[in-house]
């Protein structure tokens, strides 16, 4: 299912995610990921995965991008693009899905764009990956 993002916004998100992937710190897994989120203001915020020798302290690119947006005052994330170096786009992990759900529009219609480092992408909605998020 697709959302109503313009081609221009998708291109900006994908480009920003690809650039962010280049800044990933992944010396242990070699699996670099970049992400870009668009807040309600339509500003974009980037994130890259950051690994740590104590593996449990590693943070995924998706969460870094969301936390960057929140640190800049955003409280609603309308869209995310996630770029990995894999042949086929990789979806977010469960922890990232739950964090995304925390900041999704009330309608649950956050756009999720998965892309490769070559710029190929596929669009869906957060609810396709997490139909029943935990909430209080």
Reference 65, options 43, 85, 90; nearest CA is 43
pLDDT of residue 117: 83
pLDDT of residue 108: 72
Report yes or no on 1 lying in a domain: no
Report yes or no on 136 lying in a domain: no
Residue ranges making up the domain that contains 27? 7-129
What distance in Å separates the CA atoms of residue 90 and residue 93, rounded to the nearest whole number? 9
Residue bearing tokens 């209080």: 136
What distance in Å separates the CA atoms of residue 104 and residue 101, rounded to the nearest whole number? 5
Report yes or no on 25 lying in a domain: yes
pLDDT of residue 77: 98
> What is the pTM (predicted TM-score) of this model?
0.94
What distance in Å separates the CA atoms of residue 72 and residue 63, rounded to the nearest whole number? 14
Report yes or no on 23 lying in a domain: yes
10-residue averages of pLDDT along the chain (136 residues): 81 97 97 97 98 97 98 98 92 97 89 92 95 88
What distance in Å separates the CA atoms of residue 102 and residue 97, rounded to the nearest whole number? 9
Report yes or no on 19 lying in a domain: yes
Instruction: Give me the CATH number covering residue 37.
Output: 3.40.140.10
pLDDT of residue 70: 98
Number of folded domains that form the chain:
1
Report yes or no on 135 lying in a domain: no
- Residue 120 annotated in active site: no
Catalytic residue among 51, 62, 74, 123: 62
Report yes or no on 62 lying in a domain: yes
Report yes or no on 134 lying in a domain: no
pLDDT of residue 87: 87
């Amino acid at each position: 299912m697709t959302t109503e993002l313009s081609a221009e916004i998708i291109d900006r998100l994908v480009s920003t995610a690809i650039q962010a992937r280049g800044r990933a710190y992944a010396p242990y897994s070699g699996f670099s990921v970049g992400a870009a989120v668009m807040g309600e203001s339509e500003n974009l915020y980037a994130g890259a995965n950051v690994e740590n020798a104590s593996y449990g302290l590693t943070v995924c690119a998706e969460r870094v991008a969301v936390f960057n947006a929140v640190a800049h005052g955003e409280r609603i994330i309308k869209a995310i693009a996630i770029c990995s170096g894999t042949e086929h786009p990789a979806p977010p992990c469960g922890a990232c899905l739950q964090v995304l759900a925390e900041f999704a529009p009330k309608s649950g219609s956050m756009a999720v764009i998965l892309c490769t480092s070559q710029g190929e992408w596929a669009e869906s909605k957060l609810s396709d990956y997490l139909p029943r998020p935990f909430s209080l």
